[in-house]
Structure 1
Amino acid sequence: MSRRAPGGVLRPQRLLHEATRDSARLRPPSGIGLDSPGVRMRMVERLRQLKLADDFVLSAFERVPRHRFVDSAFVPQAYEDTSLPIGHGQTISKPSVVARMLQLLAEAPGRLRGGAEVRLGRVLEIGTGCGYQAALLALLSERLTSVERIAALHHGAQARLSALKSELPLCSFQLLLADGSLGRLGVGPYDAIIAAAGGEAIPEAWLQHLAPGGRLVAPVARGAGGQRLMVVDRVRGAEGPQEWRLTECEGVSFVPLKSGVLV
């Protein structure tokens, strides 16, 4: 049994020990043990210790089995705070980075609130990848549209999310095989937009799909090969017209944003 500090919080040294033990697991990828409450909750507890997200966001991490979204060879590392390859030159992002980005969306001024129920509203995800972040979003949103340009990843995510829908109360979602850098990204406008790939600038199509009061979170290249996490809020200007307010956050590392559809 894990030792806990007063208040039920795992001690930092215990967290480090258990993270090391989790990463050393070499059991067959059957899900037995890997998806036990202890393993998944220790990942969530580490995110909570880092103060990256509140209980609203972390509730989704508690419920979505990350090991089911990675290749069997990487299942033993599924609950480490690391990015993992998913094929086709793409990766599943580190849980800490995903938590940070989802928390930024959750803190948007236009976030929907209704009694005890709090949701992100209508969400657009650019870069479905393996579908893990989409599954998290589908627990936090009113409606989700996710766009992927690589057909193999699109179909794989569709299968995983369809299977998960019978187990978790996912919102209504639509997965599109399309170029995420272009327009026609489902039926907008969207209250929240999140991107899993970064280019030299935020595409104009994304800005035009953002609803008044909405927030966009995406990586953007910032010289010398580095990227910064950018937050864009669509707000009403002093004279009435809508304008976009940009906030630059910490450095991140994402795959580059590319055009075209690979079938």
Structure 2
Amino acid sequence: MALPMNAQVNPSDVHAQARFNMIEQQVRPWNVLDEAVLELMGKIHREDFVPPEYANLAYMDIEVPLKSNAEECAAKGWHMLAPKIEARMLQDVKIQPTDRVLEIGTGSGYMAALLAAQAQEVVTLEIDPELAEMARENLLSAGVKNVEVKLADGATNSLAQGMFDVIMLSGSVAQVPEALFAQLNAGGRIAAIVGHMPVMRFTLVTKNGDNYEVKQPWDTAASRLVSFEEPSRFSF
């Protein structure tokens, strides 16, 4: 039945329906079947982590800009990852309740909130001061207490943060930075989107003793994390 023309729609109802549709139409079809991850995607309100002017885009299958100037965001990689990518990365990295997690590329704080719901502690690095402050405010408003947002360049300053069980790169890189390997505890995992447009690969590196197991189970594409090395794609 159609609503009367003067009817008021509760925004929370609209977002709740959009959240349900995101899970059922985007996330599940992308082989995200872990019930704990699906529950988190429903529990943590994505609309609270996007700029207000983009609230209507929060649950769309796109990378949402993180600042009002969409062209600048496109040039500098200031985007949230698409929901289905965030969910599948979270599923594949298998966060444990005792894990200490490092995230590089805080953005709005949404992925940090997802990680924090499963981990013991999250340290997240953001190179842009405005985004770092926005993430702090978003996480505080959401009641997330086990995340520390640091203003830092994850490409150069991550070694100062200590050792971790999981390192999550919330954006793409040309290759997994070798310096990050030294920060993994035994059994630790690095999760990153690696490669070049138009096709990149989700890459999961697991530390087994002195060896590293590398898996690349699915293809995708994502905005670049700034400041990471871009080696030449050509050899002579």
Mark yes or no: TM-score above 0.5. yes
Q: Per-residue CA shift, 1:204-240, capped at 9, x if unaligned?
A: 2221111110111101125x6542211100002xxxx
Counterparts of residues 80-159 of structure 1 (less than 5 Å): 80-87=60-67, 89=73, 90-106=78-94, 112=96, 119=97, 121-159=99-137
The 1-side partners of 2:207 and 2:179 are apart by 14
The 2-side partners of 1:189 and 1:34 are apart by 42
The alignment of Structure 1 onto Structure 2 pairs a total of residues equal to: 213
Match of 2:233 in 1: none
8 Å CA contact 1:141–1:171 kept in 2: the answer is no
1:78 aligns with 2:58: yes
Which of 176, 189, 201 aligns to 2:175? It is 201
Which of 5, 13, 33 aligns to 2:13? It is 33
Unaligned runs of 5+ in 1: 2-26, 113-118, 237-241
Which of 194, 212, 228 aligns to 1:220? It is 194
Q: Counterpart amino acid of 2:37?
A: V
Q: Which moved more, 1:181-190 or 1:213-222?
A: 181-190
- Percent identity between the two aligned chains: 29
8 Å CA contact 2:205–2:214 kept in 1: the answer is yes
The 2-side partners of 1:130 and 1:163 are apart by 12
Match of 1:232 in 2: 205
Q: Counterpart amino acid of 1:94?
A: A
Match of 2:224 in 1: 256
The 1-side partners of 2:160 and 2:101 are apart by 10
Counterparts of residues 39-78 of structure 1 (less than 5 Å): 39-46=18-25, 47-78=27-58
Which SS does the other structure have where 2:194 is aligned?
A: strand
8 Å CA contact 2:172–2:193 kept in 1: the answer is yes
8 Å CA contact 2:193–2:201 kept in 1: the answer is yes
User: Are the structure 2 counterparts of residues 231 and 120 from structure 1 closer, same or farther at C-alpha, using a change threshold of 3 Å?
Assistant: farther
Looking at secondary structure, tell me which structure has more helix per residue.
Answer: 2
Which SS does the other structure have where 1:255 is aligned?
A: coil
Q: Counterpart amino acid of 2:173?
A: G
The 2-side partners of 1:53 and 1:126 are apart by 25
